[in-house]
Structure 1
Amino acid sequence: MRWELRPRGPGPAALAVAWNLWGPLRLPCRPGWRGMTRGLLVRPITGASNQLQNSSSGRYRDTVLLPQTTFPMKLLGRQQPDTELEIQQKCGFSELYSWQRERKVKTEFCLHDGPPYANGDPHVGHALNKILKDIANRYHMMRGSKIHYVPGWDCHGLPIEIKVLSELGGKAQNLSAVEIREKARSFAKAAIEKQRSAFIRWGVMADWNNCYYTFDGKYEAKQLRIFYQMYDKGLIYRSYKPVFWSPSSRTALAEAELEYNPEHVSRSIYVKFPFLKPSPKLASLIDGSSPISFIVWTTQPWTIPANQAVCYMPDAKYAVVKCSGSGDLYILAADKVTSVASTLKTSFEVISTFSGADLENGTCAHPLMPDKVSPLLPANHVTMTKGTGLVHTAPAHGMEDYSIASQHNLPTDCLVDEDGVFTAVAGPDLHNKAVLEEGTDVVIKMLQAAKTLLKEEKVVHSYPYDWRTKKPVVIRASKQWFVNITDLKATAKDLLKKVNFIPGSALNAMVEMMDRRPYWCISRQRVWGVPIPVFHHKTKDEFLINSQTIEHIIKLVEQHGSDIWWTLPPEQLLPKEVLSQVGGPDALEYVPGQDILDIWFDSGTSWSYVLPGTDQRADLYLEGKDQLGGWFQSSLLTSVAARKKAPFKTVVVHGFTLGEKGEKMSKSLGNVIDPDVVINGGEDQSTEPPYGADVLRWWVAESNVFTEVTISPSVLHAARDDISKLRNTLRFLLGNVAGFNPETDSIPVNDMYVIDQYMLHLLQDLANKITDSYKQYDFGKVVRLLRAFYTRELSNFYFSIIKDRLYCENASDPKRRSCQTALAEILDVIARSFAPILPHLAEEVFQHMPYSKEPKSVFRTGWINTSSIWKKPGLEEAVESACAMRDAFLGSIPGKNAAEYQVTIVIEPGLLFEIIEMLQAEETSSTSQLNELMMASQTTLLPQEPLEIAAGVTELKGTFLINLEGGDIREESSYKVLVAPTTKEKCPRCWKYTAESSDTLCPRCAEVVGGK
């Protein structure tokens, strides 16, 4: 549309949205035009019906139909949380899950709950996760699906064990495994109760009496069955391999239990490895009379005593260089000559260069043991990004090192024990010294004494830490149980291609994490967990596990829980038929193993316990992004191993909760937001007011949860303001459907006012978009669509137009009933649209519906209902063309009362005139649909300009392009809007300027009052 506004006036005025008793004052235009930017002037205006509503005097006050409802405009202070608790009781929140399970419906929606850790108080991360799940469940339930949602808790593991032991202090030393387990169980149970009551308070729908717990005997028994299935297929094996080891926790850790500290400081060293025997190819290049050394760099000096080889890159170029200072000869990568010389504060003269492949079959001497030979070996993991292009290889202390050792049959001797200290095998100088502290110092001094240390310098780099103790880990070889994920990865990746990931980028992230994982260590050297059900021979390196032993243990665990591993004597843990084969009860050759299963294996097998049926897949897994390497992955790998299926159809991944400036939440920063304080308020309620659970839920829904999610007092305050505006909209709707019965008073759609039909047309479009957004789990879009609709389309546009018709016509006038028909439909659609997000407010609205004798729960009456006959695209041209003229008029009287003016609209004969004529059949009217839209005293519609235009009339010109039937009908028409002050007086009842004198009623009001 092209615009010509004359006179333009003083430019766009800032919109002052005044929220009065029944909602905000109106905008002069309806924003959100279809596909065109229409450059409208936005000005605050007033209208007679708005002034009328605020008037408490006048002899005709009792004849005006003002809104009637007991729905409160605001819930102040404690009223919000108290009302929510009342609604939870009154509307049967606790029975809703079991009610919907009993319905006879065809479809089921299964959301499998990833178990939160039973460790500590509920926090905003829990709120984000549980509320997102609840919104999804409530939506699918309202759409008619039976919801399968069993909440669970992850109850085992090191963090709980550490907390229990730290609380006991010195007494912990004397506790038996059974005592530690008892105390850990009590601790977990207490945490579960705190979290459960918080989740219920947030309005999360579930059967809270039937949850799953990883310490439940029946759960543990299912988990052991999966373990044996995988063992039996050769997917679980025991091996001596390097693993991430936490000296502070005295246990092996999986990748998912590490966090990387980017500020870790290591003492890096450059070391000489004397060249012993060159390969035949290399012998001709170098003068055999001068000694040559390889320069090797490492950030872990403590691993040098365990060196077994030096690795090189076969495709790279290497150089023999002469040191300008000492005259010594060295070998290093040709690309690293300049940078290494600079670090060593010297210069190198390149004597000759050769290919890495020429090092094949060469050897060098160990830098601490001159008579120990270290072979030179080709390896793909050698890079030129750091160091010298030559890599020190200690097979017991590195995953790649171990891989090289396996290929070349090198020893994998570990010189470090469970406490991270050197063993006696490391020699008297190192024995009992912590490798990351004094042990490193002693190794460096030993290298100095051996004259093989070239340089030591501190380096800041990313280093793995134990996720719970926050202390550095080491890599050390030990006997552990592993899942052979190499055999599972290809199938797992194929299956992931058929899974719907939201956002889509999460799929690649998960595949990358899986690719980086060489193997999965599933054994832990602790007591609070599910035992690995294996018996070890007392003297030989043998173990016992078979279908007979596992079935026996599974039955015992099912009945009594996994404590039996520690409480029953070993002979009772074996079935009689096996016992007789292994020495009998008196001379038993085997003892129960002391390892427990990784808690990621615990929780990763939850699908086998929770999902009904052996082939069942959950419709949805929804967790934080850390689970791409954690629960999502352990669930996938165990499900693929056991049944060659992914356990999920859709995976939704959300970000972490952060403070206002994007910083992590921590007690030390003082930016931790407690969900309980959000709901019930803090000690000082002037700074921490009680917002109730719905504000928390709105914050969750409106956030872009696919990235990091910020929360702060200002964010919560804004959420409360949004809900307040929504309440006002709802109050206006409820108040104006008083005395209306949809069953008997509704007007057929085709007989309704055009503007009312137009609102139903917009409402159907809104309902479709909202439904689609819920389907995509894009709850932020639901909030944006709703907010735009109730502020722009309703409060600022529709409500401002219809007040006169609602308040001043006869109660049962079809014009008024037309409007109420639209309002009732709008109320129903809006309430159902936000119900999954704000269940307390939705139920409160349903309790106040004036035409419901027995209010039903919004959740027991289904999803949004719209009618296809609401869809009337042609209406948009009628309303929007009239709005174009309305905006020209209102733009010319900034800040003035529109009812004090009369408007003449001149349109050349044609399609536009015919469309506008639908809104006003007679030439001049103060009660037509067109005049209602204009909000003027009266509107005149003419096909040609009047012969005389009085002085003082403002003339505005414009054109409007009509585009119907997908472009088949296109016509551009000109129009003029003539604005003049009204010649009539203000009616004492409706306050419109339509009366002959100030003390007589206008014709419309006289008719209405006379009728009464």
Structure 2
Amino acid sequence: PQLGLRLRPERASFWSVFKVLHHPTLGSAPTCDGLGVFLLSPQKSGFLELYSWQRQRKAKQEFCLHDGPPYANGDPHVGHALNKILKDITNRFHMMRGYKVHYVPGWDCHGLPIELKALSEIKGAENLSPVEIRQKAKEFAERAIEKQKAAFIRWGIMADWANCYCTFDPKYEANQLRVFHKMYDKGFIYQDYKPVFWSPSAKTALAEAELEYNEQHVSRSVYMKFPLLKSPPKLASVIDGSSPTSVLVWTTQPWTVPANQAVCYMPDAEYSVVKCATTGEHLILAANRVESTAAVLDTQFEVISTCKGEDLADGSCAHPTIPGRVSPLLPANHVTMAKGTGLVHTAPAHGMEDYSVASHHQLPTECLVDERGHFTEAAGPELKNKNVLEEGNEAVIKMLQAAGSLLKEEKYVHSYPYDWRTKKPMIIRASKQWFVNTANVKATAQEVLKKVKIIPTSAVSRMLEMLDRRTFWCISRQRCWGVPIPVFYQKDTGESLINSETITDIIKIVEQQGTDAWWTLPIEQLLSKEAVAKAGGHDVLDYVKGQDVLDIWFDSGTSWAHVLEGTEQRADVYLEGKDQLGGWFQSSLLTMHRLTLIVHGFTLGEKGEKMSKSIGNVVDPDVVINGGDDHTKDPPYGADVLRWWVAESNVFTEVLIGPVVLNAARDDINKLRNTLRFMLGNMAGFNPETDSIPPSEMYIVDQYMLHLLQDYGSKVTEAYKQYDYSKVVRLLQAFCSRNLSNFYFSIIKDRLYCEEEKDPKRRSCQTVLAEALDVVVRSFAPILPHLAEEVFQHLPYKKEGVFRTGWINASSGWKKPGIEEAIEGACAMRDSFLGSISGKNPLEYEVIIVIEPGLLFELMEALQAEESSRVSQLNEIMMASQTTLLSEIPKETPADANIVTGNFLINLEGGDIREESSYKVIALPTAKAKCPRCRRYTADSSSTPCPRCLKVIAGKGST
């Protein structure tokens, strides 16, 4: 304006970008983030020191987000990005709100996946000692940690990256054993022989959280009969012995039949004795399964009699493959009628419910399957050493056929649990393991959980259901890469030796030397003579060290004991994926009890499919940021696009990602960046401390924008508080697009570009732009930290970074509810005017507004005191060359004038003041010439500037 030149909007935007791109603080090796598609050097912005800075400042409140450790077994992926960025947005928001944020990143470093990957790189790995295996596994985990840490830093995750936690740190391992000790002392941890999920491919027990289900697994199901040995007394009159009678049983796991100890029925269900049309024999099965079972067996059943399940009591059957073994008929509530025959083959060694029945009726729990998933010698010569899921299954089916017990075999497709690491089927197998008795703490945990705020609320019922179903937690694993269970066994009897003294001694050693000491030190240095004597033993050498390690869910679930030292061992938030409802959330809850849970979904391809290398839809976050080998196919988006994708997604369901999603995110940021460029480009020569205009002296439309800005700040703050970051993005986009770009920017350009530099009218809208830029940047700073910091680096009047200066500071004094009616009324008339000229240039028209006397007329008079004006606030909003405000249509109105009629409802004081007024808008071509400076039709000649521009050029308006 000082040069007497009007800069077009696109030129203004270009000029602001030019300044940004040539700003002296830009690093010499820029990368693609931020405003001018460049990233400030960390040294210049203090970006990497932010966490340490905020930890050292004085703050009244502390906010603790406890980091669930990602697994250190591979490269960073988009699941990591989703989780870490969500946490970072949360932390940055609370830090800006004045909290001292406590966030210590960590890694889960033990367990079978790391051990397998480490050993897969070594020839002759089967000959390595446990200590050598542990060393290789640790080295592998350390390499994975460095890769993931570098990625997390690149994503802008705020933390003290020099002080993270790893579950293989000696101090961490010692703290973990202290939690184990406390739980053992309270009686929560015990050893027992019972069925557990077992992975033959990994030769170890599994927890339920370590399973994944194959929905297309095919089992060889069989219908088989158990000949009745002893008739139930209440059925004696029906079963007279004249025809052979059997109970009819269906199972999908024939290999478990040799371990059968009983057949179970549902006491309250109805059962039928039927006669088979094909064989003439009598069979017993559930009454509502008669027709469907007959159809499967391709025969017909004649119902002889029907009875209650309880009438089967005291009956017994002959085992179908083991001569002389008796299988009693027993009641059980786990029997269902959805499939099968309503009578369930019960093998206590291979089923959780089966084991409960056996325990109640004191039946043996004999396991005939070894850790490899092969039948043992006790299973007999026909089965010995056969794989139960392969040739062992086939052998049992042939034995059933030879005994005349097999009625039908068929393929059955169903959901079946697999080992999530080896991706192979698991079995249920009884073995001696260590357990946490979750039944003892479940009631307390469920009550605590009901008081915890869980987002989304739909996760509450699922977690309560999981807790209710979980009666015990198997915490022992048959590996060497982990934290050893500190137990010793008597060589001859196998009796375990574990007490406070032995555990305390081990904790001291581990704290100093780490858990390698369990494998490297002789037993004399691990087990004291005093502890042996106290346990009633005689010699330390009579004992051996246990070979089991703790479940990695116990590793990570006790992380609070290490990380939350000095914070009263309480976290404000746990934020993890929904798979942790049965994993880390539960293990933490069962060992800690105090949680706030936020649960997000999984990442999927943009069509909703799982990511797979074979499909080719795997999204690598490094490629998202830096681009692939072919930038035309995989362009570099930058870290903020990755963060925007996380924030804009509905993370409480499945989160989709792919080229279309990323391109849309990039476009959204570009639109936001253009809005910021406009505001930043118009801040030159403006200092808020000396040049700001008080709200009371502003244009009404400027006051209106402050009003909207205050409302926006409140809504955004509330959305952050609710962890609804997608709502933050929606609010940001709506405000920038609708309120700023489409509305405010379009009407203030004339003031910005054509008024004298220091004119109060220009300073008024600059004041609003400065406030809007400040509020908008702070509102998205937790989501787009690189862009936010860069904007603040280029402010001509501020030097300190956005994160060090706090949250949105929108004055409550900006809130003026009544002001909305005046501006929105004028906007309604502008819409009528623009609609009447069919997209033509409004500056080529003069507009006449006719309003009957009343409240609406008075509001418009506040925007334009004189009858006609080319510079009034009302004319600025109308975007015409001149606006005339009248109470009736002028008599000289041309007969062909286009008159548009409309209505506007005024609603003030919460509805106490309501008045609907009609208005008329008349658009007339202007008779004035186009000003060569401001491009408005306000000049007397196209070669001479208009009076306003002449005054500015002459400097008459300067102070």
Q: TM-score, normalised by structure 2?
A: 0.96
Partner of residue 693 from structure 2, selected from 747, 756, 764: 747
After the TM superposition, which of the residue ranges 479-488 and 314-323 deviates more from structure 2? 314-323
Counterparts of 2:5 and 2:511 in 1: how far apart (Å)? Answer: 72
In structure 2, the residue matched to 1:1008 is: 952
Contact 2:239 2:245 in 1 (8 A): no
Secondary structure of 1:726's match? Answer: helix
Contact 2:374 2:392 in 1 (8 A): yes
What is the correspondence of 1:368-383 to structure 2 with a 5 Å cutoff?
A: 368-383=321-336
Contact 1:52 1:990 in 2 (8 A): no
Counterparts of 2:411 and 2:834 in 1: how far apart (Å)? Answer: 72
Q: Does 1:93 align with 2:39?
A: no
RMSD: 2.1
Q: Does 1:955 align with 2:899?
A: yes
Counterparts of 1:859 and 1:361 in 2: how far apart (Å)? Answer: 75
What is the letter of the counterpart of residue 449 of structure 1?
Answer: A
What is the letter of the counterpart of residue 848 of structure 1?
Answer: H
Contact 1:952 1:980 in 2 (8 A): no
Q: Does 1:70 align with 2:8?
A: no
In structure 2, the residue matched to 1:767 is: 713
Q: CA deviation at 1:168?
A: 2.1
Contact 2:250 2:345 in 1 (8 A): yes
Secondary structure of 1:526's match? Answer: coil
In structure 1, the residue matched to 2:199 is: 246
Q: CA deviation at 1:704?
A: 0.5
In structure 2, the residue matched to 1:545 is: 498
Counterparts of 1:821 and 1:547 in 2: how far apart (Å)? Answer: 69
Secondary structure of 2:938's match? Answer: coil
Counterparts of 1:535 and 1:875 in 2: how far apart (Å)? Answer: 79
Q: In the TM superposition, what whole-angstrom CA distance separates every residue of 1:600-619 from its partner, at most 9, and x where no partner exists? A: 00100011111134843211
Partner of residue 987 from structure 1, selected from 918, 931, 946: 931
What is the letter of the counterpart of residue 880 of structure 2?
Answer: A
Q: Does 1:147 align with 2:147?
A: no
In structure 1, the residue matched to 2:842 is: 898
In structure 2, the residue matched to 1:35 is: none
Contact 1:78 1:680 in 2 (8 A): no
Counterparts of 1:975 and 1:520 in 2: how far apart (Å)? Answer: 74
Q: CA deviation at 1:576?
A: 4.5
**Number of residues of Structure 1 aligned to a counterpart in Structure 2:** 948
Q: TM-score, normalised by structure 1?
A: 0.92
Q: Residues 73 and 663 from structure 1, CA distance in 2 versus in 1: closer, same or farther, beyond 3 angstroms?
A: farther
Contact 1:73 1:727 in 2 (8 A): no
Counterparts of 2:546 and 2:273 in 1: how far apart (Å)? Answer: 53
Q: Residues 73 and 620 from structure 1, CA distance in 2 versus in 1: closer, same or farther, beyond 3 angstroms?
A: farther
After the TM superposition, which of the residue ranges 942-951 and 713-722 deviates more from structure 2? 942-951
Q: CA deviation at 1:72?
A: 4.7
Q: Does 1:190 align with 2:139?
A: no
Counterparts of 2:359 and 2:9 in 1: how far apart (Å)? Answer: 87
Counterparts of 1:81 and 1:316 in 2: how far apart (Å)? Answer: 67
Counterparts of 2:436 and 2:886 in 1: how far apart (Å)? Answer: 84
After the TM superposition, which of the residue ranges 763-772 and 228-237 deviates more from structure 2? 228-237
Contact 1:69 1:734 in 2 (8 A): no
What is the letter of the counterpart of residue 109 of structure 2?
Answer: C
Q: CA deviation at 1:53?
A: 4.8
Q: CA deviation at 1:166?
A: 2.3
Contact 1:680 1:692 in 2 (8 A): yes
Q: CA deviation at 1:84?
A: 5.5
Contact 1:49 1:804 in 2 (8 A): no
Partner of residue 229 from structure 2, selected from 276, 295, 313: 276
Partner of residue 816 from structure 1, selected from 738, 755, 762: 762
In structure 2, the residue matched to 1:791 is: 737
By relative contact order (CA 8 Å, sep 6+), the higher-ranking structure is 1
Counterparts of 2:540 and 2:606 in 1: how far apart (Å)? Answer: 66
Q: CA deviation at 1:427?
A: 0.5
Secondary structure of 1:789's match? Answer: helix
Unaligned runs of 5+ in 1: 1-47, 57-63, 640-645
Secondary structure of 2:393's match? Answer: helix
Q: CA deviation at 1:589?
A: 1.3
Partner of residue 878 from structure 2, selected from 929, 934, 939: 934
Q: Residues 496 and 285 from structure 1, CA distance in 2 versus in 1: closer, same or farther, beyond 3 angstroms?
A: same
Counterparts of 2:47 and 2:686 in 1: how far apart (Å)? Answer: 29
In structure 1, the residue matched to 2:32 is: 80
Secondary structure of 2:451's match? Answer: coil
In structure 2, the residue matched to 1:642 is: none
What is the letter of the counterpart of residue 610 of structure 2?
Answer: K
Q: CA deviation at 1:165?
A: 2.2
Q: CA deviation at 1:233?
A: 1.0
In structure 2, the residue matched to 1:634 is: 587
Unaligned runs of 5+ in 2: none
In structure 1, the residue matched to 2:801 is: 857
Secondary structure of 2:937's match? Answer: coil
Counterparts of 1:607 and 1:820 in 2: how far apart (Å)? Answer: 50
Counterparts of 1:516 and 1:54 in 2: how far apart (Å)? Answer: 64
Contact 1:503 1:652 in 2 (8 A): yes
Q: Residues 54 and 647 from structure 1, CA distance in 2 versus in 1: closer, same or farther, beyond 3 angstroms?
A: closer
Q: CA deviation at 1:732?
A: 0.7
Q: CA deviation at 1:825?
A: 0.3
Partner of residue 358 from structure 1, selected from 293, 311, 320: 311
Counterparts of 2:8 and 2:471 in 1: how far apart (Å)? Answer: 76
In structure 1, the residue matched to 2:941 is: 997
Q: CA deviation at 1:727?
A: 1.1
Counterparts of 1:739 and 1:442 in 2: how far apart (Å)? Answer: 89
Q: In the TM superposition, what whole-angstrom CA distance separates every residue of 1:160-203 from its partner, at most 9, and x where no partner exists? A: 1111222224x012110000000000000000000000000101
Counterparts of 1:865 and 1:274 in 2: how far apart (Å)? Answer: 82
In structure 2, the residue matched to 1:715 is: 661
Q: Does 1:574 align with 2:523?
A: no
In structure 1, the residue matched to 2:456 is: 503
After the TM superposition, which of the residue ranges 78-87 and 570-579 deviates more from structure 2? 78-87
Partner of residue 621 from structure 1, selected from 553, 556, 574: 574
What is the letter of the counterpart of residue 80 of structure 1?
Answer: C
Contact 2:528 2:540 in 1 (8 A): no
Counterparts of 1:802 and 1:584 in 2: how far apart (Å)? Answer: 91
Q: Does 1:835 align with 2:787?
A: no
Contact 1:68 1:738 in 2 (8 A): no
Q: Does 1:967 align with 2:917?
A: no
What is the correspondence of 1:319-718 to structure 2 with a 5 Å cutoff?
A: 319-579=272-532, 588-613=541-566, 615-639=568-592, 646-648=593-595, 650-718=596-664
Secondary structure of 2:863's match? Answer: coil
Q: CA deviation at 1:67?
A: 6.6
What is the letter of the counterpart of residue 951 of structure 2?
Answer: E
After the TM superposition, which of the residue ranges 219-228 and 366-375 deviates more from structure 2? 366-375
In structure 1, the residue matched to 2:117 is: 163
Contact 1:77 1:689 in 2 (8 A): no
Counterparts of 2:639 and 2:538 in 1: how far apart (Å)? Answer: 60
Counterparts of 1:839 and 1:487 in 2: how far apart (Å)? Answer: 46
Secondary structure of 2:122's match? Answer: helix
Counterparts of 1:500 and 1:87 in 2: how far apart (Å)? Answer: 39
Counterparts of 2:753 and 2:722 in 1: how far apart (Å)? Answer: 41
Q: CA deviation at 1:561?
A: 0.3
In structure 2, the residue matched to 1:20 is: none
Partner of residue 104 from structure 1, selected from 36, 47, 58: 58
Partner of residue 913 from structure 1, selected from 854, 857, 862: 857
Identical counterparts, % of pairs: 72
What is the letter of the counterpart of residue 163 of structure 2?
Answer: N
Contact 2:316 2:329 in 1 (8 A): yes
Counterparts of 2:274 and 2:356 in 1: how far apart (Å)? Answer: 31
Q: Residues 957 and 630 from structure 1, CA distance in 2 versus in 1: closer, same or farther, beyond 3 angstroms?
A: same
Secondary structure of 1:289's match? Answer: coil
Q: Residues 651 and 158 from structure 1, CA distance in 2 versus in 1: closer, same or farther, beyond 3 angstroms?
A: same
In structure 2, the residue matched to 1:868 is: 812
Contact 1:903 1:977 in 2 (8 A): yes
Q: Residues 84 and 242 from structure 1, CA distance in 2 versus in 1: closer, same or farther, beyond 3 angstroms?
A: farther
Secondary structure of 2:888's match? Answer: coil
Q: CA deviation at 1:328?
A: 1.2
